[in-house]
């Protein structure tokens, strides 16, 4: 038995070395990559990252301090080039935007869930991406389209406040913030996506299916070492079951919408248009056929997933900061009262446009706690150089957003939560990349406007209706985070709420 285990240990040691020797490139072909921590043959820095026990973004933050604003991390067969400097990001994503606008190859599981990159976020830079993105932006996310869903938002906000109120009533004033915020925004997106209001049970079931999808897509060791994938056949089988559940469930809802379009009036609470309506006959550049059943499901899922956890997370961090900084919460409440005129009127999205302090609070919360500390992974369309280093086409180019927005050379005292940084005409336009929670350039988040409306509206309503206090009372807020698709609070936020009179 002992000799068998030593045999396996020896094999485990030798196999990587043999692969390394077989796959090593001749010196002349080696690239001049940015600096980074020394790694092992084959596995590179993979085990260092895993064994650090830190969330990936914390690990990267540590590396930035040692290796500077452009660095390399080798994760098995993947080479990550990580940028964390505003000027470099500007050069890559804006000045040379087209070159850096693609996405890298996917692992087999992600390929199934994205229908071979048939989504806005995963598509390589080219005609498919252009067609899908144009459709999503023009038909759903432009300012004029957004206005048409105002009623949907108002209804969801009322429900959100009611839910918080009744949860508090049943739990001596204590509520879960993220769960309620996620649900409220998911509710809005579901109606926008499928064109009719659903009962809470269906929305909840859909949310569970979507969560399963996100968990299934979490990175696994064989994403970085594909040679190990035969050992993950069970996980593959499970992933395919989740995919089937997702397709069956979502397609049933899509068919329900189709019936409504063919037979208007069959759904009592139908909206005049929805995202899925724009997809049925969508023309894709360079392709004759309209989206298939799986592609429809995939595109709808992208719409729901893109805006749910991101927005919910932002609201959770925002409320945590308002609890930790009662003076800021008070300033915000005063601004709300000033705008609604001390009446009992509910603050609405027109009011929100007149609230510079709220806007500053939201900017500061997105600077300090970008829900995704790294953008989605970019790739270059052809080999190039940046800051004097090679950037090959098969590298994952990662933009470390948190590294930009907490850079002490750009932000004085970056650790401090201080909305006043954004008061006084400091315009943070789309091309200002001192903070970029939505990314920047051609792949900038197309949901930026909608997400901003949602965050403003939710925080304004939450603060207008309730005073937010720490739970347990008097406790200090713990601002550590953990990655769960987005970076959420490590200790999921519970708060005591008191209805304002």
Q: Where do contacts with ligand HEM occur on this chain (CB under 6 A)?
A: 120-121, 133, 302-303, 306-307, 310-311, 314, 371-372, 375-376, 437-439, 443, 445-447, 450-451
Is the distance from CB of 148 to CB of 448 less than 8 angstroms? no
Rounded to the nearest 5°, which phi and psi values hold at 455? -65, -45
78 or 133: CB nearest ligand HEM: 133
| Min dist. Cβ of residue 378 to ligand HEM (A) | 6
| Min dist. Cβ of residue 336 to ligand HEM (A) | 21
| Min dist. Cβ of residue 109 to ligand HEM (A) | 19
33 or 137: CB nearest ligand HEM: 137
| Min dist. Cβ of residue 103 to ligand HEM (A) | 7
Q: Which residue has the tokens 């550049």?
A: 285
72 or 375: CB nearest ligand HEM: 375
CA 436, chain centre distance (Å): 13
250 or 445: CB nearest ligand HEM: 445
| Min dist. Cβ of residue 212 to ligand HEM (A) | 20
361 or 445: CB nearest ligand HEM: 445
- The count of C-alpha atoms lying within 13 angstroms of the C-alpha of 407, restricted to the half-sphere facing its C-beta, is 19
- The count of C-alpha atoms lying within 13 angstroms of the C-alpha of 303, restricted to the half-sphere facing its C-beta, is 28
Crossing angle (nearest 10°) for helices 233-262 and 293-324:
100
Rounded to the nearest 5°, which phi and psi values hold at 197? -80, 140
| Min dist. Cβ of residue 192 to ligand HEM (A) | 8
Residues 6 or more apart in contact with residue 349 via CB below 8 angstroms: 150, 153, 453, 456, 457
Residues 6 or more apart in contact with residue 282 via CB below 8 angstroms: 131, 132, 135, 290, 291
41 or 219: CB nearest ligand HEM: 219
> Taking the CB of residue 405, how many other CB atoms lie within 10 A of it?
24
Q: Residue 469 annotated as binding?
A: no
Beta bridge partners of 397: 81, 378
Q: Which residue is nearest to ligand HEM (CB)?
A: 447
Q: Which residues are annotated as a binding site?
A: 445
Q: Which residues are annotated as a binding site for heme?
A: 445
């Amino acid at each position: 038995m002992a000799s068998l285990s030593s045999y396996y240990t020896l094999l485990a040691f030798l196999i990587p070395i043999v692969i390394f020797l077989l796959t090593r490139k001749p010196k002349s072909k080696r690239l001049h990559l940015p600096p980074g921590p020394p790694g092992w043959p084959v596995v590179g820095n993979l085990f260092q990252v895993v064994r650090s026990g830190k969330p990936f973004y914390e690990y990267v933050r540590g590396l930035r301090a040692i290796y500077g604003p452009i660095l390399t991390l080798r994760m098995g067969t993947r080479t990550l080039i990580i940028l964390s400097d505003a000027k470099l990001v500007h050069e890559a994503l804006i000045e040379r935007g087209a070159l850096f606008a693609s996405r890298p190859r996917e692992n087999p599981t992600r390929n199934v869930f994205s229908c071979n990159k048939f989504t806005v976020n995963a598509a390589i830079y080219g005609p498919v991406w252009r067609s899908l993105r144009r459709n999503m932006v023009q038909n759903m996310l432009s300012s004029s389209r957004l206005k048409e869903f105002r009623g949907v938002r108002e209804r969801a906000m009322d429900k959100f406040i009611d839910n918080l109120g009744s949860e508090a009533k049943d739990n001596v004033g204590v509520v879960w913030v993220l769960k309620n915020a996620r649900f409220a925004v998911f509710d809005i997106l579901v109606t926008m996506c499928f064109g009719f209001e659903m009962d809470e049970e269906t929305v909840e079931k859909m949310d569970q299916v979507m969560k399963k999808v996100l968990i299934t897509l979490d990175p696994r060791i064989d994403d970085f070492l594909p040679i190990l994938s035969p050992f993950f056949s069970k996980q593959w089988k499970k992933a395919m079951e989740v995919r089937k559940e997702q397709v069956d469930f979502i397609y049933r809802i899509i068919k329900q919408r189709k019936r409504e379009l063919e037979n208007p009036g069959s759904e009592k609470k139908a909206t005049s248009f929805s995202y899925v309506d724009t997809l049925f006959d969508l023309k894709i550049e360079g392709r004759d056929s309209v989206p298939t059943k799986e592609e429809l499901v995939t595109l709808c899922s992208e719409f729901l997933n893109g805006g749910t956890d991101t927005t919910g997370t932002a609201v959770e961090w925002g409320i945590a900061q308002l609890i930790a900084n009662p003076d800021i919460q008070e300033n915000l409440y005063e601004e709300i009262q000033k705008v609604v005129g001390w009446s009992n009127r509910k603050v609405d999205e027109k009011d929100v446009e007149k609230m510079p302090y709220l806007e500053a609070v939201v900017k500061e919360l997105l600077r300090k706690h970008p829900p995704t500390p790294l953008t989605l992974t970019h790739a270059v369309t052809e080999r190039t150089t940046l800051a004097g280093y090679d950037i090959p086409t098969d590298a994952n180019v990662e933009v470390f957003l948190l590294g930009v927005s907490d850079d002490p050379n750009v932000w004085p005292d970056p650790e401090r939560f201080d909305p006043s940084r954004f008061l006084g005409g400091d315009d943070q336009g789309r091309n200002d990349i001192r903070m970029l929670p939505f990314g920047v350039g051609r792949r900038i988040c197309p949901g930026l406007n909608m997400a901003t409306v949602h965050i403003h509206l939710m925080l304004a309503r939450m603060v207008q209706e309730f005073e937010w206090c720490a739970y347990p009372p008097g406790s200090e807020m713990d601002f550590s985070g953990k990655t769960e698709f987005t970076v959420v609070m490590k200790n999921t936020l519970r708060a005591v709420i008191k209805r304002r009179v």
